[in-house]
Structure 1
Amino acid sequence: MSSTEPDALLGPADIRDLAAKLGVRPTKQRGQNFVIDANTVRRIVRTAEVRPDDVVVEVGPGLGSLTLALLEAADRVVAVEIDDVLAAALPATVAARMPGRADRFSLVHSDAMLVTELPGPAPTALVANLPYNVAVPVLLTMLERFPTIERTLVMVQAEVADRLAARPGNKVYGVPSVKANWYADVKRAGSIGRTVFWPAPNVDSGLVSLVRRTEPITTTASRAEVFAVVDAAFAQRRKTLRAALAGWAGSAPAAEAALVAAGISPQARGEALTIEEFAAIAEHKPAPKTDEDQPSGSSE
């Protein structure tokens, strides 16, 4: 890997100058909070354990703070940016500050939720400061569409980080926790204060590490079938699974039968179940009733 200049990363003055030249004002609509501290982005890269042979995909690179730190450590970086002005400016920023690494950088000007392929070699890592308002759907979409991503480190709102890393029985354990566990082993990997951002957000941030499972969940149910159970279970999380899954199964008795067949108490609640247990329930979804199943003379 070629060396980089010690001042190649963006500092607070660099960020504000670049934003002023571009006429950029961070917007809440897109959850834009730019990292202005070089030590923080290098810490993120270290925590992500980025390797010299990694192809890293970054979502929401903004003005390029983390992008440049990733280019210091990885073989290649592919950045996905939805903002027209930021997407147009980033390649020039990379070329100006890291000319020796510019050929290792690619930009995809798109909404990350719509990206189905990336240029160059398949990505091996995802490292991103995710926009707070779309963090979970973007994360889950990228993990689904790019199975070669082995390691992920995302910076998200602290509350979201807690939810993603929560274990069964925790009060914040929910849909994001379960679905992230379908793909990876998830854990909290640190906290980030508000002062390293411009503008400073009203909430703290957290780092979440996701290491993709070496073996997928053992189940005959599809991901979509398992996720349908998860969504139903937490749509009414205060209810027992027998009641919460009644719509999914067709009736409360049918839900109870599926739960019993899966070895799970009908009186349990979704917040107590592992991803493996949700998969077991999905395997026992009752077949939908047909007209022939209705008793003669039924008024239904």
Structure 2
Amino acid sequence: MNNFIYQGHFIRKRFSQNFLKDEYTINKIISTINPQEDELLVEIGPGLGALTKHICKYIDKLIVIELDSNLVQKLKQNPNFGYKLTIFQKDATKFDFNKCLASKNKKLLRIFGNLPYHISTILIFNIFKYVNLIKDMHFMLQKEVVDRMAIGPGSKVYGRLSIMTQYYCKVIPILEIHPKSFIPVPKVNSMLVRLVPYDQLPHPVIDVNLLNYITKIAFSQRRKKLNNSLNKVIPENIFKELSIDSALRAEDISVAQYCSLANWLANS
């Protein structure tokens, strides 16, 4: 088999396409998602339909978001599930997920997909804008990304992605996926992760943009102590007032503490 052609599709490197082919892994993912007929499911990057065809056995309608026009045509022409699909040929990193909701349909979205590695973080941050529309998410991501999502403070890989993901969601790593489960074979291991948005945020902030702002500043200078990196936005006495040690670095501060800082800034 040609390294660049799979199931008649010319694999496009610029879209970071790695197609899932291992049936055991596919079945495990489907059982984890556990699709039900009355649910509103959205697949990001269906590709050649490895997951799509199985999901469509359980539901009559599936929304898919796919950027590659060649793959869109293949999905439309597939007699096994093409008629069940509502297809958006869009860039998911900029997609408005309100478009997935029917006007009178109050069901929450269940989003899943094998996300391209090079845009996964940007894509996830876009999805968080619509978190109030979402019941849960199941994503295949680079294992390193899932590790960053799930890790707590005190680790070198703890960062903005950790904080913003844990602010919005419970993070549940499910299954490590070997590179040979994909074609072409990626150079990294993948992992299936479940993200479940909180019904009630454990550490609500007044303005989530300020949480983004503070963490962006802190982690852009992560080797500096907070009293150096955040000194232009948070006075020293406020750290003491909030019981936060300003001599610590960005990676040592918990989600709850960052939320306290964001709320102080919102009120100041």
TM-score of the alignment, normalized to the shorter chain, above 0.5: yes
**Counterparts of residues 126-165 of structure 1 (less than 5 Å):** 126-165=111-150
Structure 1 pair 146–88 and aligned structure 2 pair: CA distance change class (3 A): farther
Match of 1:265 among 245, 252, 255: 245
Contact 1:186 1:208 in 2 (8 A): yes
TM-superposition CA deviations, 1:160-190 (whole Å, max 9, x none) = 1111111222331111111111210112111
Q: Which residue of 2 aligns with 1:189?
A: 174
Q: Which residue of 2 aligns with 1:118?
A: 99
In 2, distance between residues paired with 1:287 and 1:216?
19
Contact 1:123 1:146 in 2 (8 A): no
Identity %: 27
Contact 2:46 2:114 in 1 (8 A): yes
Higher alpha-carbon Rg = 1
Contact 2:226 2:250 in 1 (8 A): yes
In 2, distance between residues paired with 1:175 and 1:211?
18
Deviates more, 1:159-168 or 1:137-146: 137-146
Q: Which residue of 1 aligns with 2:183?
A: 198
Q: Which has the bigger relative contact order, CA under 8 A and spacing at least 6?
A: 2
Structure 1 pair 17–219 and aligned structure 2 pair: CA distance change class (3 A): closer
Q: Which residue of 2 aligns with 1:279?
A: 259
In 2, distance between residues paired with 1:243 and 1:72?
56
Task: Give the counterpart letter for 2:90 in structure 1.
Answer: S
Deviates more, 1:222-231 or 1:135-144: 135-144
Contact 2:207 2:266 in 1 (8 A): no
**Counterparts of residues 100-119 of structure 1 (less than 5 Å):** 102-103=83-84, 105-116=85-96, 117-119=98-100
Q: Which residue of 1 aligns with 2:32?
A: 47
Structure 1 pair 260–48 and aligned structure 2 pair: CA distance change class (3 A): farther
In 2, distance between residues paired with 1:272 and 1:45?
37
In the TM superposition, residue 204 of structure 1 has moved relative to its aligned partner by 1.0
In 1, distance between residues paired with 2:266 and 2:126?
28
Does 1:97 find its partner at 2:77? Answer: no
Task: Give the counterpart letter for 1:125 in structure 2.
Answer: R
RMSD: 2.5
Structure 1 pair 182–76 and aligned structure 2 pair: CA distance change class (3 A): farther
Q: TM-score, normalised by structure 1?
A: 0.79
| Matched residues, number | 262
In 1, distance between residues paired with 2:60 and 2:131?
18
In 2, distance between residues paired with 1:17 and 1:26?
7
In the TM superposition, residue 17 of structure 1 has moved relative to its aligned partner by 6.3
Structure 1 pair 83–256 and aligned structure 2 pair: CA distance change class (3 A): same
Deviates more, 1:65-74 or 1:147-156: 65-74
Contact 2:177 2:189 in 1 (8 A): yes
In 1, distance between residues paired with 2:28 and 2:134?
20
